[in-house]
Structure 1
Amino acid sequence: MKKTLILSIMVLACLMAKAQENSSRGYRGYADLGYTIGVGYYDLNSFEISTTHGYQLSSYFFIGAGVGFHFMQEYKTPDMNIPMDIRDSKVSIPFYVDFRGTFGKRRVAPFVDLKLGYFVTNGDAFYSHISAGVRIRTVEKQAVTIGIGGSYESLRFETFDQFVSPGLNMDYSRTPQNYYLDGVAIKVGYEF
């Protein structure tokens, strides 16, 4: 058992060393433009700009961190005199970790990307985005990326609470409430 474990570790170390020789390891950066279309009950759309920086572990795997700027439209519950939920037009800023896998070293190669993080503005909370697409190499260590994916986010709304005065007066109060929203996103980026 002990000999098998030592032999396995030695073989794995040799394979990793060989993979490191052939990989393009080191710093890598990404800049992305995207548009998310809200789906489900809250159809809240957003235009997004993000940048990610990190370390290319091998030709296939990247890990990094980034920040985004999500320009979100105003939202009011449709077809109601007093909307149940409202959200002003806002810029929400998520910080996230990014895991990316690229499948192949060819000029055009597929990739998958997972971003997990937290919004730091407007009382928003959880942020996640997963996508798949193609990476098109332009010059050495640079590429254009095109991806489609989904987002799952916790955003803060002002929600109808109660009427605050009796009679015909329609004064009411609102309380902040976070809701989870889904979206379908299209992103175009540049890798450097």
Structure 2
Amino acid sequence: MSDLPEIQQRELAALVADLSALEPAQWRAATLCADWDVEEVVAHLGGAAATSRPAWFRSMFAAHFDASLHNRRRLEDFRGSTPQETLERFRHTGPIDSPIKPSPAGLGEIIVHSEDIRRPLGLHHAPDPAGLLEVAKFFVAKNFAVNSKTLAKGLTLHATDADFHEGVGPEVRGPLLSLVMAIAGRATFLPDLSGDGVAELTTRLAV
């Protein structure tokens, strides 16, 4: 999909708009991303966007291919001395240059982590439909950054609001964004889903 960088840029701008309206305490709010607060997720996204493909490989090599260490180093490099400084830096970032090219992996990072921030804060955003569809197709085909292919294996994923029907097995149906977030490992989105495959997906997410 040739316009993925443009879609990424629009999604980044939408997230910046939401972040600009946050109260100071909200920057320390918990997110759906492990133990990171809002500022840390933003710094993670910014660090990913600021890291070129060659720099990504050098960073992973230096971290002995420990993705958690790599992510923490890039996060801390990007993070400002205050949340507002972090936001100002993030405001000027470009699309994430995925190590897998061509690939919707960078857009997937933005969509998933934006929801990691928005959902706990009660913020609502509808990602670009075409871009979200490309991310969903990528997630069921690849384990990259998240174990989405493994989580989706042996299940039929059926979006109720998009032309997306993938897999063979017990069905999991619901909004496409919720399907994407669930196979990205976010159990918070399971209540949005229905079908005889939800129990199995719930078990997988609990492991």
Q: TM-score, normalised by structure 2?
A: 0.19
Q: Which has the higher strand share?
A: 1
Greater gyration radius: 1
Q: Which has the higher helix share?
A: 2
